[in-house]
Amino acid sequence: MRRLLVFLGLAGTAAAALAVVRRNRALATVASDLRNPTLLVPMSFTGPTSLKVGRRMLAQASPVREGVTTREVQIPGDGGSVRAVVYERTGRSQPSGALLWIHGGGLIMGRPEGGNDLCSHVASALDVLVLSVDYRLAPEHPFPAGLDDCFAALTWLHSQAAALGIDPARIAVGGDSAGGGLTATLVQMAHDRGGPAVCFQLLQYPMLDDRTTLRTDAAARGAVVWSNRSNRFAWTAYLGHAPSGSEDRPYAAAARRADLSGLPPAWIGVGAIDLFYDEDADYARRLVKAGVPCEFHVVPGMYHAADVLQPTAPAMVDYRQRIIDALGAALTTP
């Protein structure tokens, strides 16, 4: 028995050493200024326990920029009242443009307060109103619950434009990660229904294609922040079934839409080593081919959500400024 315990201990040590080697290999392509100690610990969300941990992590509120006020509003929706957070600069000029923001979290985690910093940055820098929607999450609420909540928020922005002091012709939609994917499907839905109008879509490393989970090549096995294991779990929770080669429901995954013509102008930003790079690059290419103006920005050595983990890195400061510039061009021009 003693020999067995010694053997198991050595085997465990060897396995741990191998895991470290593999992790270091995975991080070799990360830009030096984007390295963060948390990257050394691989994490995947694959079940109830890890999901609970992830939800606690993403429930933490980031700081609100000085000079920006926030308030909660309740929006009527098909599934009941939808909570949202309003950000605006004190003394905002009216009527202004507005941004409907959809937070990330793999469709299974997250809340508006996690994006306080970016939303208040946009509100402060551009003197616009920002509305961040607290949509329903999977697996408790699979497709189309979250998307329906986002559509309700967009509809509410338009219906309350006069009371909110915003110009209905200057309403953009944006989101990060899963929120970017919901942004893309939301503007598709709004286009098909003849409104509400969206002047611009900002897709920050968007989660667009459930078929990425079916890939087995090295690029799809990346584990820097968001792995394909997490991706499979998240898409399965959202779709209500494991991803497959076919998905007949419109708006389930933005990249599955065949015709992208007529959609609003877009900005897509993603890191070169992000799991979503290929699907994002393909979507940008297809938008342009369909006649939709689209700026596609790629950051070398950037992993998923690096701007959150390393916000002061020069590359991430530049990345965030590009977001502000893209939104500013769309929202501040009457």
Which are the catalytic amino acids?
177, 274, 304
- Print the SS3 string covering 245-290: CCCCCCCCCHHHCCCCCCCCCEEEEEECCCCCHHHHHHHHHHHHHC
Distance between CA 277 and CA 304 in Å, rounded? 9
| Residue 27, token pair as written in the block | 């991080």
Neighbours of 108 (CB within 10 A): 23
d(CA 110, CA 108) in angstroms, rounded, equals 7
Cis peptide before 334 (omega within 30 of 0): no
DSSP 190-245: HHHTT-S--SEEEEES----GGGGG--SGGGG--SSS-HHHHHHHHHHHHSS---S
CA dihedral 139, 140, 146, 147 (to 10 degrees): 60
The structure tokens listed for 252 are: 């389930």
DSSP string, 159-179: HTHHHHTEEEEEEEEEEETHH
Give the Cα separation of 22 and 16 in Å (integer). Answer: 10
